[in-house]
Amino acid sequence: MRYAILGTGSVGRTIAAKLSELGHEVTVGTRDVAATLARSETDRMGNPPFSQWRAERPAVRLATFADAAANAQAVVCALSGLATLDALRAAGAANLAGKLLIDISNPLDGSAGFPPRLDPVDTDSLGEQIQREFPDAKVVKTLNTMTAAVMVDPGRLAGPSTVFLSGDDADAKKAAAALLGEFGWSGSSIIDLGGIETARGAEMATGFWLRVYVALGTGDFNFHIQRGR
């Protein structure tokens, strides 16, 4: 498959690297290619400059949001949630139409300090906002309830854990589930929450996740839905 990964931060890099390792054709999308390549310092999150990361993964291409999306069969939003809609506008509705659009991003606003707040929360979700603004894209919200390292390597945890799907298109959710399988998620570890409006639940999970993260002092955990006997 040809994937566009929108976002050059740790989530985008982790997903891009894994997809490339799995043999997919991967283009990372960014707002300004020259500016992304010109950066020479570690970012706020402690990630090395993108050009350094990419030097070790020559198969991964870098392009504008629009070029990356235009050439892809499926698009992954791996941006800071507050930047997601603008990046998708830059990608262009025509370049997203008919395609699987996996949204990993969370609408977290850190302007009032830590922990960041969700906006929207409960009465709407970023997943729904994307689907409303790009009705021809097949939006699937998934993987947003865990840290990047766990997304592509669920076996790193001490036992089974759960990943969730929200979306209106059954075939798109099947394709997303197949991709999760490639990442190492077993069928029984995937819960289909329902339509894209259930992204409200998955995004509120982030508000919960943030407090567990602080309490444990690490993001290396995941929610596991423990069922009845």
Q: Can you read off the two tokens belonging to residue 79?
A: 């941006």
- Please provide residue 2's backbone torsions phi and psi, each rounded to the nearest 5 degrees: -100, 115
Burial class (CB in 10 A: 0-12, 13-18, 19+), 126: buried
Give me the 128-167 binding string for a copy of itself, x by CB under 8 A, dash otherwise.
Answer: ----------------------------xxxxxx--x-x-
Determine contact, residues 2/73, Cβ cutoff 8 Å.
Answer: yes
Can you tell me the distance from the alpha carbon of 46 to that of 113, in angstroms, rounded to the nearest whole number? 18
Q: Which is nearer to a copy of itself, 118 or 130 (CB)?
A: 118
124 binds a copy of itself (CB under 8 A): no
The minimum distance between CB 228 and a copy of itself, in angstroms, equals 4
Give the C-alpha distances (Å, rounded to integers) separating 191 from 31, 79, 177, 196, 202: 33, 23, 10, 13, 11
Instruction: Draw the binding track, 206-225, toward a copy of itself (x: CB under 8 A; -: no contact).
Output: -xxxxxx-xxx-x-xxxxxx
Closest by alpha carbon to 104, among 150, 36, 136? 150
Half-sphere exposure at residue 185, Cβ-oriented, CA atoms within 13 angstroms:
24
Contact code string over 82-121 relative to a copy of itself, x by CB under 8 A = ---------------------------------x-xx--x
Minimum distance between the CB of residue 7 and a copy of itself, rounded to whole angstroms? 24
* Span from 90-98, 134-142, 173-181, 197-205 in contact with a copy of itself (CB under 8 A): 197-205
CA distance 95 to 72: 8
Q: How many residues bind a copy of itself (CB under 8 A)?
A: 44
Nearer to a copy of itself, 78 or 210 (CB): 210
Given 59, 122, 140, 179, the residue binding a copy of itself (CB under 8 A): 122
Residues binding a copy of itself (CB under 8 A)? 115, 117-118, 121-123, 156-161, 164, 166, 191-194, 198, 200-202, 204-205, 207-212, 214-216, 218, 220-229
